[in-house]
Amino acid sequence: MRSFYEFFAGGGMALAGLGEGWQCLLANDFDHKKAETYRANWGGDHLIVDDIRNIAPEDMPGKPDMVWGSFPCQDLSLAGEGAGLRGDRSGTFWPFIHHIQALRDEGRAPGIIALENVLGTLTSHKGADFTAICEALSSLGYRYGAIVADAVHFVPQSRPRLFIIAVRADVTAPALTISDGPKTPWHPTSLKNAFGRLPSALQDNWLWWSMPTPPQRQTKFADFVEDRPTSTKWHSASETTTLLSMMSEVNLAKVETAKAAGVKMVGTIYKRTRHEHGIKVQRAEIRFDEIAGCLRTPAGGSSRQLIMVVEGKKIRSRLISTRETARLMGLPDSYALPARYNEAYHLTGDGVAVPVVRYIAEHLFEKLISKTEPAQGRVGA
């Protein structure tokens, strides 16, 4: 049984992805509402609800095989204010690194460090923040690499995310886990450019992680849609008409094409502010490609995703349901969600896609850490 810590745990989606072969010795998040959901699904004996800065070495039990950190993305996101790793939220990366250092000093350094965040991490402050992350990992005695994994390979949601994976210097990476250079689809141009900006000393510690190409996804967004959602209601006819009135000619043409398709069509919508003729105009932009747009948290002004169901001349619309958002993150219907819509939407939109974690665990983590003996310390429920 492999063991891990999960910092910035949210609703425990990394735990869900790692699965039964992993024991969570410590989970941490400062958000009390997310912690309630975590407890409802995973128990709370191993959960510390507090600022990461307030955790002491004695609060961290056992010797984890891996430490996972989905540190806050707001200051690194292209939609954020650009504070980067100096920001109050994304700057919590540094206390995270401090904890790894404390573990190392006590002879408990994990074999793997896994970091997950938005793609903006690669270009934040012209690449300086990504360089700082690599430098921090190198100073702790780790080699590292990164992949970009899009949840769309596993669930019908467009959700590319950066995963930085570091291994302790004495951990031998099996040949199948590394390649001699970047490989599709895991190493897009943005990542190759970020690597190219690293100083040569940091490039020397770089590993090009290798995984097989994911199998063809069999599901489409319509498979995830609830006919009778309990977390939201279908719009009235006038509300749907108003939504249609917010569409540009291009987007209205998509709706007309869907009406003529002769089959049930399900589209997803985000409201966005566009500049047209020097004026700010709010537009409803729809896609009918059987893929949901990337789920986002409402914080920072992001709109909530809507859906539109077109069956001939009949058109219905509503907010995406919270269960639909959970399904798009790869969570089973047995996963307990918050009763309040905004809390559930925030929880799922702020998480990591479960099947992405499972795929990386199967093809990287579990090949790097092949332990079978029971882990020591607290164990998740």
Neighbours of 42 (CB within 10 A): 21
Contact at 8 Å (CB) between 211 and 360? yes
Digit-coded pLDDT (tens) for 68-109: 998 764 444 444 445 444 544 445 788 899 999 999 999 999
Digit-coded pLDDT (tens) for 264-295: 999 999 999 999 888 999 999 999 999 999 99
Count up the domains in the chain and report the number: 2
Neighbours of 321 (CB within 10 A): 23
Say which CATH number the domain at 64 has.
Answer: 3.40.50.150
On the CB side of 24, CA atoms within 13 Å amount to 27
C-alpha to C-alpha distance for 372 and 242, rounded to whole angstroms: 58
- Extended beta strands in 108-244, E state: 112-117, 142-150, 160-168, 178-179, 208-209
C-alpha to C-alpha distance for 155 and 20, rounded to whole angstroms: 21
Residue 373 forms part of a structural domain: no
Q: What is the pLDDT of residue 92?
A: 79
Residue 379 forms part of a structural domain: no
**Residue 153 and residue 94 share a domain:** yes
Residue 332 forms part of a structural domain: no
Residue 336 forms part of a structural domain: no
**Residue 278 and residue 152 share a domain:** no
Long-range contacts, stretch 123-128, CB < 8 angstroms, 24+ apart = 123/190, 123/194, 124/75, 124/76, 124/82, 124/84, 124/85, 125/82, 125/84, 125/85, 126/197, 127/194, 127/197, 128/84
Neighbours of 165 (CB within 10 A): 24
Q: What is the pLDDT of residue 253?
A: 97
Residue 6 forms part of a structural domain: yes
Pairing of strands 66-69, 112-117: parallel
CA distances from 69 to 13, 160, 359 (A): 12, 17, 17
**Residue 24 and residue 141 share a domain:** yes
Q: What is the pLDDT of residue 375?
A: 44
**Residue 240 and residue 200 share a domain:** no
**Residue 102 and residue 39 share a domain:** yes
> 88: which residues sit within 8 A by CB, 6+ positions away?
75
**Residue 100 and residue 201 share a domain:** yes
Residue 266 forms part of a structural domain: yes
**Residue 257 and residue 173 share a domain:** no
pTM for the model: 0.92
**Residue 46 and residue 189 share a domain:** yes
**Residue 211 and residue 241 share a domain:** no
Residue 228 forms part of a structural domain: no
**Residue 19 and residue 107 share a domain:** yes
Q: Which residues of 120-152 are buried (b: 16+ CB within 10 A; e: fewer)?
A: bbbbbeebebbbbbbebbbebebbbbbbbbbbb
The domain in which residue 281 lies consists of 233-320
Give the 3-state secondary structure of residue 34.
helix
Residue 142 forms part of a structural domain: yes
Place of tokens 């100083």: 199
**Residue 184 and residue 211 share a domain:** yes
**Residue 141 and residue 40 share a domain:** yes
Mean pLDDT by 10 residues, the chain (381 residues): 96 97 96 97 96 93 96 50 48 86 96 94 89 95 98 97 96 93 97 97 98 96 95 97 97 97 94 91 95 80 85 96 98 98 94 98 94 42 35
